[in-house]
Amino acid sequence: MAVVSSLLGRLSRQNRAMYPKALMLLALLAGLFACGSERVLQGQISVASMEDGDWEIYLVNVEEMRAFRLSENRAYDSGLVWSPDGRSSVRTTEWVSGETKELLTLDEDGLPQVEITEVTGDRELLWTNLDGTEQFLTENDVPDESPAWSPDGNQIAFVSALTEDYEIHVMDADGSNVRRLTVSPREDWQPSWSPDGKHIVFASLRTGDWEIYVMDSDGANTYQLTESPGVDWTPDWSPDGQRIVFASNRTPDGIEVTDEAVVDNPETSTWDIYVMNRDGSSVKRLTDAPGSDIEPTWSPDGKYLAFASDRSGPLEVYVMNADGSDQEGLNWSGIPSEWTDFD
């Protein structure tokens, strides 16, 4: 998982500053879409950001140019997705129910002081209702992450190391009735449901190279969609069910082919956004900018895509038309996980 860890900027635990308890309302920069685009963006993009020094969840409203902070702790939070009715969300977190511990440390003058730190654990899935009610859907001794709601809201697919490697599982929306969907010798990641709920697309290392696969929603009839040197990652099904967008470093300068394996070359590797038909045909490259473009997600109407890019420095949220044209930054740092449109 070295490629994935570097791609998402996942960090080891570190001391973090205390943040205010009140929900923060943050204004985006006023120059949004200053280049004169005629498109009208609607809805909200869920974003994991280190804007305040710690991975937290924000809801970026692309109509009002504002961002609302949704999580408030000193642990890792990422990958928030909303239930189809918009009444609750699930995210990946290392937060452990607000528990704290006191550590005796020395200040800059060498004097003893008590430092209060937040207890963190392995990654679990946390459900949050609109009224602020929270409940852990997974509580075990292994990481659980990458949640994805079924279109009917009754199930949540996710990735877990409940077995020897990471596999895709599914559970009822209340965390019960956990079932394993994939059985492969290597890792499976990033499930995304088809709009009709009949299929799940995902990334897998089962052949020794990260490729995109699709299976029935019960885990049957797995079919490989991509086959190229490099890493194909983070597939997301379009709202009309006809296309799948994903990120890849399949460009020649980012791939090193050896006698034993195809490996990512971090010295030259660049990531771009691609789209293909649901059967894996007609693969089209949508971005080709310096740096890396990752984590694509569709707008609810299927007209646009949001993604993260470091083309101008730190990772920032960008949007573009679904054909790859008119790429613009939102002036908001972070990684998008979902684009929704709720009242």
Specify the residue for token string 């659980």: 144
Specify if 74 maps to a domain.
yes
> Of 336, 291, 335, 329, which Cα lies nearest the Cα of 313?
291
H-helix segments, the chain: 2-8
Structure-model confidence comparison of residues 66 and 98, the more confident one:
66
**Of 17-21, 112-116, 132-136, 283-287, which range is least confident?**
17-21
Give Cα 309 distance to the centre of its chain: 13
Specify if 259 maps to a domain.
no
Q: Rg of the chain's alpha carbons, rounded to an integer?
A: 20
Specify if 69 maps to a domain.
yes
**Can you give the length of the chain in residues?**
343
Specify the residue for token string 């977190």: 93
pLDDT band at 32 (very low <50, low <70, confident <90, very high): very low
pLDDT band at 253 (very low <50, low <70, confident <90, very high): low
**How far is residue 184's CA from residue 169's CA, in Å, rounded to a whole number?**
12
Indicate the SS3 state at residue 292: coil
Using the 8-state DSSP alphabet, how is residue 28 labeled?
P
Instruction: Tell whether the model's pLDDT for residue 116 goes beyond 60.
Output: yes
pLDDT digits (tens, 9 = 90+) for 203-214: 999 999 999 999
| Number of structural domains the chain divides into | 1
**How far is residue 333's CA from residue 289's CA, in Å, rounded to a whole number?**
18
- By residue range, what is the domain housing residue 34? 1-82+325-343
Specify if 51 maps to a domain.
yes
The pLDDT, as a whole number, for residue 112 is: 79
The pLDDT, as a whole number, for residue 3 is: 40
Specify if 175 maps to a domain.
no
The pLDDT, as a whole number, for residue 120 is: 61
Specify if 3 maps to a domain.
yes
pLDDT band at 106 (very low <50, low <70, confident <90, very high): confident
Structure-model confidence comparison of residues 95 and 260, the more confident one:
95
Specify if 130 maps to a domain.
no
The pLDDT, as a whole number, for residue 96 is: 76
Amino acid at 255: I
pTM, two decimal places: 0.82
Q: Which of 14-28, 36-50, 102-116, 216-230 has the highest mean pLDDT?
A: 216-230
**How far is residue 48's CA from residue 63's CA, in Å, rounded to a whole number?**
19
Structure-model confidence comparison of residues 106 and 328, the more confident one:
328
What is the chain's mean pLDDT, rounded? Answer: 84
**8 A C-beta contact, residue 215 and residue 181:** yes
The pLDDT, as a whole number, for residue 260 is: 46
Instruction: Tell whether the model's pLDDT for residue 239 goes beyond 80.
Output: yes
The pLDDT, as a whole number, for residue 98 is: 60
The pLDDT, as a whole number, for residue 129 is: 95
Specify if 31 maps to a domain.
yes
pLDDT digits (tens, 9 = 90+) for 169-184: 999 999 999 999 999 9
